[in-house]
């Protein structure tokens, strides 16, 4: 799971729903965006633990959405078979994850969607 900061990780941990590994984006909006470190961790996870899914758990603000798109594009070239999801939209736009309550985060985690897909109309 990719999060922006340590407080986001701690808040998600409190839900008790996610037991996997985390990657905290340190210099999220820098030019390189920690991509090489992320790439190394993902390759290790794929080789050692059979990594099958990567979850984006970023705040819902324009800067985060843009960074998510950049990382998604970068990773799909390196790992075309990797399932990449993002939290469901139980979170309000513009909200910081560290201020979200556990119930809202639980809903967002359980209703995450695969990136690149759109919801089908009924």
pLDDT at 34: 61
Integer Cα distance of 97 and 95 in angstroms: 6
pTM for this model (two decimals): 0.70
pLDDT at 74: 86
- Residue 20, exposed/middle/buried by CB under 10 A (0-12, 13-18, 19+)? exposed
Which residues are paired to 55 by β-bridges? 85
Q: Which residue has the tokens 């759109």?
A: 118
**Helix (H) / strand (E) containing 121:** none
For the chain, the domains span 2-114
The CATH class of 2-114 is: alpha beta
What are the tokens at 93? 């736009």
pLDDT at 57: 93
Per-residue model confidence as pLDDT tens for the chain (122 residues): 999 989 999 999 998 999 899 999 876 555 555 678 888 888 888 887 888 899 999 987 888 888 889 889 988 888 898 899 988 766 666 677 887 878 778 878 887 878 876 555 54
């Amino acid at each position: 799971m990719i999060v922006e900061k340590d407080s986001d990780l701690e808040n998600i941990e409190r839900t008790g729903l996610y037991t996997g590994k985390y990657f905290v984006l340190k210099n999220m909006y820098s030019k390189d965006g920690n991509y090489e470190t992320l790439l190394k961790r993902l390759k290790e996870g794929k080789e050692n633990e059979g990594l099958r899914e990567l979850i984006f758990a970023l705040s819902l603000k324009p800067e985060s959405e843009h960074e998510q798109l950049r990382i998604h594009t970068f990773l799909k070239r390196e790992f075309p078979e990797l399932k990449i999801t993002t939290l469901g939209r139980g979170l309000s736009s513009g909200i910081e994850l560290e201020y979200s309550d556990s119930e809202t985060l639980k809903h967002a985690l359980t209703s995450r969607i695969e990136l690149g897909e759109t919801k089908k109309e009924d």
